[in-house]
Amino acid sequence: MHDVFFLSHERIVSVPAGTSLLEAAHLAGIVLESPCNREGTCGKCGVVVHGEDRLNLRYEESGHRLTGEKEADGWVLGCQAYVYGAVRVSETVRSERGLAIVVDGKRRQVPLDPLFRKEFDSIGNVTRLLLGDRLVDIQTGNTEANQYGVVVDIGTTTLVVVLLDLKNGIELGTISSLNPQASHAQDVLSRIKLGSSHEGLRLLHDELMRELNRMVARLAISAGISRSDIYEAIFSGNTTMLTIAARTSPASLGRYPYQVSVPTGCSFSSGELGFEIAEKGSVWFPPVASAYVGGDIISGIMAADLLSLKGRTLFVDIGTNGEMVLAEDGKLTATSTAAGPAFEGMNISCGMRATDGAIEKVRLHNGIVEVQTISAALPTGLCGSGLLDVVAELSREGVADRNGRLAKPGSKAFERWQHSLEMDNGRIRFRLSPKVTLSQQDIRQVQLAKAAVRAGIDMLLLKCSILPEDVDCVFIAGSFGVHLQVSSLIILALLPESFAERVEFLGNTSRSGAELFLLNQETRLEAASMVKQMRVLELSGEPEFEKLFLHALAFHHSEERKVESEKHGI
């Protein structure tokens, strides 16, 4: 056995020879992220080991390369460094302090008519608990005053829980957190891969429920109520998240024909899920349209009231997956693309989540790099919105060409920005701050992510015989979307130019739509009917999609943007 000292946390753990530093950290109760499922390709589980202690480590080769600067500072990848002697770890990757999670979203108004209710019988001095017309329990005395519900938005990256009073629909509290599953597998595909094994599924489910139970407990204490008076929950999330929450293997979601293996549009016993509310509480899952058009999108459609809107409205949720729905006078067509983790900063060299110190906005002007960080802290990395901003600005300035290639020495663009362009092991980087740079590979990841979303939009419009300029309104949903600038989305060609003046950001509609289901039982029937009539496009079977994707990799070149910038004030 060998001792591993985590000096920054003042913890020590003894591990057998051959244990990775990542595993040692987890044994010590220290969460290091490994969104690539320990394959060594994301670079997010870095730790610092100095001096002779490095001789007690053995390394595996991976697809990720730390910068020369980081290697010189003693950084190693925790998942690729194995212990064969005593090791002192002096520093680990930054914590998620100040994680900025969008909890609010647009929601249509509905009458208060929850499925769960209480009825007091003064003659018998008992209170009946009813779920619809079904008698759930009988309580002694008048307990009508105590009837609560929670809405749980299970995002791939974040969690939001809202406590509501079912007597009046008033929100009593909201809490948000990082989804602990993300430290093991970042995106939906890697979550499916990990959850397909018995051990992986148990890990993902147990960590999710442990965190949700903690969040509910905090809300209950803060509101001065008992968790035993919370009788119903709505779990809103993509199909993979709901499948794992139901303690069901997601394996069928990862292979053709991508079948949904868990029932939705129905209730589960809270006890069988390990969700700690009332003893006879229930959890309702929204219906899903397909393996990749899930309950969160159904919630979003309901929140945005797409069924009642006239004209052509495009609803897009941008995240690790890109889901999109086109509504034509209430007729819905939906599809989904795998954008990957770039928008979360997880496969970006200096990428990070939207926490304190994350660069969230960037402007290049007169040779000056201007950045805005979360909480006005010193810049320590790039979150998704800042990442899109800087790539868009590089494109606008001509520092990155339409194919995403950074300017080389000798070019006019390089000469204009040579104070920010530098070489690292023969590879060019753009420096935004003393600790934050952007590499050519980072730009490539942005291209792949944005091309997936754009190709999905183009394919959806093509199949519906709609031109981009014929779309009346564009709704951008999701926590990530709130931080975006329309100008960056247009410059990067993530959205068609004609969308520039038609975009509206809706916020977290997975949460706000789920509130409709909790507060008004008729909306559940409406959603079930809607899903049955919805048309879902499976892009993997569309031969045109690959062509659209390849075309969508390009950015607008700065010269092409000149007229467009003047036209739209970008």
- Residue 325 shares a structural domain with residue 233: no
432 pLDDT higher than 90: yes
Low-confidence winner among 230-239, 352-361, 455-464 (lowest mean pLDDT)? 352-361
- Residue 290 shares a structural domain with residue 152: yes
Mean pLDDT, residues 143-167: 93
- Which residues share a beta bridge with 489? none
Q: Cα(323)–Cα(331) distance, rounded to whole angstroms?
A: 17
Radius of gyration of the CA atoms of the chain, in A? 25
Overall domain count for the chain? 4
- Residue 514 shares a structural domain with residue 398: no
- Residue 240 shares a structural domain with residue 275: yes
- Does residue 567 fall inside a structural domain? no
**Per-chain mean pLDDT for the chain:** 87
- Residue 137 shares a structural domain with residue 27: no
Query: β-strands 368-373, 358-365: how paired?
Result: antiparallel
Cβ-based neighbours of 415, under 8 Å, separated by 6 or more:
none
- Residue 506 shares a structural domain with residue 369: no
> Among the three residues 297, 329, 364, which one is the final residue of a domain in this structure?
297
Q: What is the dihedral sign for C-alpha 433, 439, 445, 449?
A: positive
- Does residue 460 fall inside a structural domain? yes
* Host domain of residue 512: 305-341+446-552
The pLDDT value recorded for residue 510 is 93
> Among the three residues 92, 126, 151, which one is the final residue of a domain in this structure?
92
- Does residue 240 fall inside a structural domain? yes
Low-confidence winner among 29-33, 156-160, 358-362, 518-522 (lowest mean pLDDT)? 29-33
Output phi, psi for 117, to 5 deg.
-155, 165
Cβ-based neighbours of 209, under 8 Å, separated by 6 or more:
245, 273, 274, 275
Reading phi first (left if > 0) and then psi (alpha if -120 to 50, else beta), residue 555 is in beta
Among 240, 231, 187, CA closest to 448: 187
Q: Cα(186)–Cα(191) distance, rounded to whole angstroms?
A: 7
- Residue 180 shares a structural domain with residue 242: yes
- Residue 71 shares a structural domain with residue 199: no
- Residue 310 shares a structural domain with residue 293: no
Cβ-based neighbours of 214, under 8 Å, separated by 6 or more:
none
The pLDDT value recorded for residue 37 is 62
Neighbours of 464 (CB within 10 A): 16
The answer to whether 308 and 245 have CB atoms below 8 angstroms apart is: no
Count of CA atoms in the C-beta half-sphere (13 A) of 100: 24
CA distances (Å), 240 to each of 262, 293, 314, in order?
10, 10, 24
- Residue 138 shares a structural domain with residue 272: yes
- Does residue 120 fall inside a structural domain? yes
- Residue 358 shares a structural domain with residue 507: no
Who has greater pLDDT, 15 or 41? 15
- Which residues share a beta bridge with 46? 77
- Residue 276 shares a structural domain with residue 334: no
For residue 16, give the CATH number of its domain. Answer: 3.10.20.30
- Does residue 473 fall inside a structural domain? yes
- Does residue 122 fall inside a structural domain? yes
Mean pLDDT, residues 256-283: 94
pLDDT tens digit sequence for 291-350: 999 999 999 999 999 999 999 999 999 887 889 999 999 999 999 998 877 887 778 888
The pLDDT value recorded for residue 239 is 96
DSSP codes joined into one string, 197-221: SHHHHHHHHHHHHHHHHHHHHHHHH
For residue 476, give the CATH number of its domain. Answer: 3.30.420.40
